[in-house]
Amino acid sequence: MNFLQRFFEVPSDLQNTWWGLILWQLQLTLVPVLIGLALALPLGMLCARFRWFYPPVLGVTTIFYAIPSLAFFVFLIDYTGETSLTVEIPLTVYTLVVLVPAIVDGMRSVSEDTRAAATAMGFGTLRRYLQVELPIAVPAIIAGLRVATVSSVSLVSVGMLIGNEGALGNLLSDALNYHRPLLAWDAVLTIAVLGVVLDGLLVLARRILTPWARKAASA
Amino acid sequence: MNIFGFAQQFFDDPSRWTGPDGIPTRLAEHVEYSLLALAIAMLIALPVGLVTGHTGRGGNALAALATAARALPSFGLLVLLTLLMGLGLIPVMVPLVALAVPPILVTTYEAMRGVDPSLVDAAKGMGMSRSRVLWQVELPVALPLILSGIRSAAIQIVSTATIAAYVSFGGLGRYIVDGLSQLRYEKVVGGAILVAGLALVTLGLFWALGRVLVSPGVRRSR
Amino acid sequence: MIEIDAVSKRYPDGTTAVDRLTLEIPDGSITVLVGPSGCGKTTTLRMINRMIEPTDGRILLDGQDIRERPVNALRRSMGYVIQHAGLFPHRTIVENIGTVPRLLGWDRQRSRSRALELMERVGLDQSLAKRYPYQLSGGQQQRVGVARALAADPPVLLMDEPFSAVDPIVRKGLQDELLRIQADLGKTIVFVTHDIDEAIKLGDMVAVLREGGHLAQYAPPNELLSAPADEFVEDFLGADRGIRHLSFFDTSGLELTSEPIVAEDATPEQVRARTVPQTPYLLVTDREGRPLGWARAADLAAGTDAGAGAGAGAGADADAGAHARLLPYGHAFRLGHDSLRAALDSAVLSPTGWAVAVDDEGRAAGVAAQETIAEAIRAAHAERAVSMVTADKGGRR
């Protein structure tokens, strides 16, 4: 964790340039999404395997999802202070809400025949999961990732209210205080474009990861 | 932070339950904003989703639109619009509607696309007009999934409607924002609990709606 | 009558689904379109109710070009049954069946009672009326599909591989049901299938289509079997063509003999009286005349067998041990109903080489040797050759 933190710690003067803000926004977006993915994969596999597990997991994550991000941040301040972590934890939870159903959907899209054939050929459970089921589930998982990533990008800006931990969102406080709409335009458009770019990258990733999928699939 | 302590402190206070800053009032305001935003979003997204899902055309454009709408930061939009238009309800509604349209639109489209084509074939072959096929066959079958999309949007709206408080409007966000600036954390806790509770009630409402609207013959989706 | 007049269907990518097809579908009979995948049979069917529009040619319904009628009115006047039935999952069985009547403006009461009436006609128990499709088996769903198509009493019924998705036993039941319904209602049915045996069983006229949408042959099934137009049709019909063709000959000309038949309680003298030189066996029947099995005449006459020992009144049970010495007769064919094919089958199955004929009550009506049956087949062919010359349409058994 230490290495990761240091890796991402950009010198503070750089942080205040436009590109610096973008990089910061990316960091604040990608870390929760990746951690969320890492958590959701085993969780999703369990939910797909044990059907009774799914409803309670969904229920818990939905409740957390319903807690307004600001309130969430406020609760955490006592524990994690006014740092990036305070923003990243709720974002990770929100990512989970989207990714767990996506992974379950993806796992369910693997036909029983395929699973049975793999087992009959001698694939162990973990190997089958990694080499057979997961690749087939990729389109559904990436679909969930796209929603999670794009939503996270825009949610990060709320962190601005916690001692300026909102990357591009920080522009918004200046915009409000000094009545400079341009800064607000800047924030909104940059974040939006960032979101669309990330979305496009994920679509590209899906094309690369699933060469067997036909072009007929919708975006 | 003693969450339970703060919660107790908040809810036990009798003055909390009356007056313009009372829980019933704020709750009503919050519900008002949420319903309005949901209604507008449904008005925009449902017809588009139904028609494009029925014809199958425009799926790509739809997905791109949804992505773009999702990428717009709600808070950022609120600030921008307030700066441009001054205080008003529109700067609050726009981000909420932008938030709610993508899930409703995409889910409705996919729900309609997911309807068994042989049903549509049989219906057309029997002499049903296109609009009848849409309303009497495709919609009832796609309904569970469509409802889940609207439900998802509703929950997001309920949670995000707290932003109204930043621009001097009411709603449950008022407790959170005021609590923060006044350093009275029991209000923050109370507000958050109320919002979460409202979300749960919304879930329940949609469950009941599903029981009433969806035919028992249609397999209920998650 | 439905006239398909030089109809073609070409797609923008160049494929030809149907190529200048000309066909006359007579009223009140079942016309089957059969062929391998890609032969255009489903495309042709779907052009009749304008689900697909032809690129060339026209289709006339009772002399009127179907394009002149508003398309929904046309479709409401035709029943349409598809594979997997396509039942509306959100409606009950009764509501499903009543779909077209309601479209036509019937009130709820009337369409409901019509639906119940049809359920009975297609062999569905009325208790299923309020159920939903997911609660029914595949075969039951198909029956509902047929009922739904018949609800508004359309003169024409279009069926697109309706029985292909169910297992063979259920399929046979559905086919028999269709024939029974048709005997009652006399609709004009256009039926698509890829199964040549289904085509032969159900069709009054069969159109065999080749890949690319060409008509290979259009004839009644027995003519198809006896005189395939070309190698493709012959291949498509498959092996055993000759034997399957025998299903179209009845057993009216078959000479049966009832000599070598004895009841189980026959005395040795009666046995000796029944013994014939053509076969060392005698058919043993129970006291009502129903066949039990074959026994050697010599054994029976010697009194060491079922006949002599049948003193007990319980009949079959008491002679269980004795019956063990009877050779099973295999399978009997019903006189007057079954074809020469069934008779031949009976003879071949019998360990003695003799076929057993029974009447409507199951009593033995006579036996016939393989040679006799072969003779009857030869005679039937000869007669058919004569009647073909005089252009007579053959019947089906």
Amino acid symbol at B92: V
Mutation target to probe the B interface, by most B beta carbons within 10 A, among C90, C134, C146 is C90
Q: Is the CB of residue B160 less than 8 Å from the CB of residue B97?
A: no
Q: What is the mean predicted confidence (pLDDT) over C187-195?
A: 94
Q: Would you state the pLDDT for residue A91?
A: 85
pLDDT band at A216; cut points 50, 70, 90: very low
The C-alpha atoms of residue B71 and residue A21 are separated, in whole angstroms, by 17
User: Does residue C305 carry a pLDDT above 80?
Assistant: no
Identify all chain B residues contacting C148, using CB atoms and an 8 Å cutoff. Answer: 126
Asked if C53 is an interface residue toward chain B (Cβ–Cβ < 8 A), one would say no
pTM assigned to the model: 0.80
Convert B14-58 into a string of H (helix), E (strand) and C (coil).
HHHHCCCCCHHHHHHHHHHHHHHHHHHHHHHHHHHHHHHHHHCCC
pLDDT band at C303; cut points 50, 70, 90: low
* A window 104-133, beta carbon within 8 A of B: none
The C-alpha atoms of residue A141 and residue A134 are separated, in whole angstroms, by 9
Read off the DSSP letter of residue B133.
Answer: I
Q: How many helices (H) and strands (E) in chain B?
A: 10, 0
User: Considering chain C, what percentage of its residues have pLDDT values greater than 90?
Assistant: 47
Q: What is the mean predicted confidence (pLDDT) over A55-59?
A: 81
Q: Is the CB of residue C165 less than 8 Å from the CB of residue C198?
A: no
| b/e code B58-82 from CB counts within 10 Å (16+ = b) | ebeebbebbbbbbbbbbbbbbbbbb
Alpha helices of chain C — where are they, by DSSP H? 41-48, 71-76, 93-97, 99-103, 108-121, 138-150, 168-185, 196-202, 221-226, 231-237, 241-245, 268-274, 297-301, 320-323, 340-349, 370-389
User: Does residue C249 carry a pLDDT above 50?
Assistant: yes
Candidate ranges B34-38, C239-243, C257-261; pick with highest mean pLDDT = B34-38
CA angle (A188 as vertex; A183, A192 as ends), nearest 5: 145
Q: Which of B70, B73, B192 is nearest residue A71 as measured by Cβ atoms?
A: B192
pLDDT tens for C309-341 read 444 434 444 343 344 478 888 888 888 788 888
Identify all chain B residues contacting C133, using CB atoms and an 8 Å cutoff. Answer: 217
Three-state secondary structure call for residue A35 = helix
Contacts of C178 (CB under 8 A, 6+ apart): C30, C146, C202
Distance from CA of A185 to the nearest CA of B (A): 6
Q: Is the CB of residue B94 less than 8 Å from the CB of residue B36?
A: no
Distance from CA of A121 to the nearest CA of B (A): 33
CB atoms inside a 10 Å sphere around CB A38: 12
Asked if C354 is an interface residue toward chain B (Cβ–Cβ < 8 A), one would say no
Sign of the CA dihedral with C80 first, then C85, C86, and C92 last = positive
The C-alpha atoms of residue B54 and residue B49 are separated, in whole angstroms, by 8
Identify all chain C residues contacting B214, using CB atoms and an 8 Å cutoff. Answer: 90
Longest CA–CA separation in chain C, Å: 84
Long-range CB contact pairs, C176-184, < 8 A, 24+: C177/C122, C177/C123, C177/C143, C177/C146, C178/C30, C178/C146, C178/C202, C181/C121, C181/C122, C181/C146, C181/C150, C182/C30, C184/C121
B127 to C75: CB separation less than 8 angstroms, yes or no:
yes
Three-state secondary structure call for residue C293 = strand
A69 to B159: CB separation less than 8 angstroms, yes or no:
yes
Beta strands in B136-191 (DSSP E): none
Q: pLDDT higher for C276 or A215?
A: C276
User: Does residue A5 carry a pLDDT above 70?
Assistant: no
* A window 17-46, beta carbon within 8 A of B: none
Q: Is the CB of residue C282 less than 8 Å from the CB of residue C293?
A: no
* B window 109-138, beta carbon within 8 A of C: 116, 118-119, 121-129, 132, 137
Lowest mean pLDDT among A111-115, C20-24, C97-101, C208-212: A111-115
Q: Would you state the pLDDT for residue B221?
A: 43
Amino acid symbol at C167: D
Q: Would you state the pLDDT for residue C318?
A: 39
Asked if B184 is an interface residue toward chain C (Cβ–Cβ < 8 A), one would say no
Q: Would you state the pLDDT for residue B120?
A: 93
The residue of chain A nearest to residue B195, with distances taken between CA atoms, is A67
The C-alpha atoms of residue C180 and residue C110 are separated, in whole angstroms, by 25
**Dihedral pair phi/psi, residue C114, rounded to 5°:** -65, -40
Cβ-based burial of C196 (10 A; exposed 0-12, middle 13-18, buried ≥19) = buried
Q: Which of C51, C73, C132 is nearest residue B125 as measured by Cβ atoms?
A: C51
Identify all chain B residues contacting A62, using CB atoms and an 8 Å cutoff. Answer: 155, 199, 203
Query: How would you list the strands of the sheet with C354-358, edge to edge?
Result: C332-334, C354-358, C364-369
The C-alpha atoms of residue C334 and residue C364 are separated, in whole angstroms, by 9
Q: Would you state the pLDDT for residue C312?
A: 40
Identify all chain B residues contacting A193, using CB atoms and an 8 Å cutoff. Answer: 71
Q: Would you state the pLDDT for residue A164?
A: 64
User: Considering chain A, what percentage of its residues have pLDDT values greater than 70?
Assistant: 86
**In a structure prediction context, what are the per-residue pLDDT tens digits for chain B, which is 222 residues long?**
577 788 888 888 888 888 888 888 889 999 999 999 999 999 999 999 999 999 888 888 888 889 889 889 888 888 889 888 888 888 899 999 999 999 999 999 999 998 999 999 999 999 999 999 999 999 999 998 899 899 989 988 998 888 888 888 888 888 888 888 888 888 888 888 888 889 889 988 998 998 899 888 886 543
**Which chains neighbour A (Cβ–Cβ under 8 Å, 3 or more pairs)?**
B
Rg (CA), chain B: 21
Longest CA–CA separation in chain B, Å: 68
Identify all chain B residues contacting A201, using CB atoms and an 8 Å cutoff. Answer: none
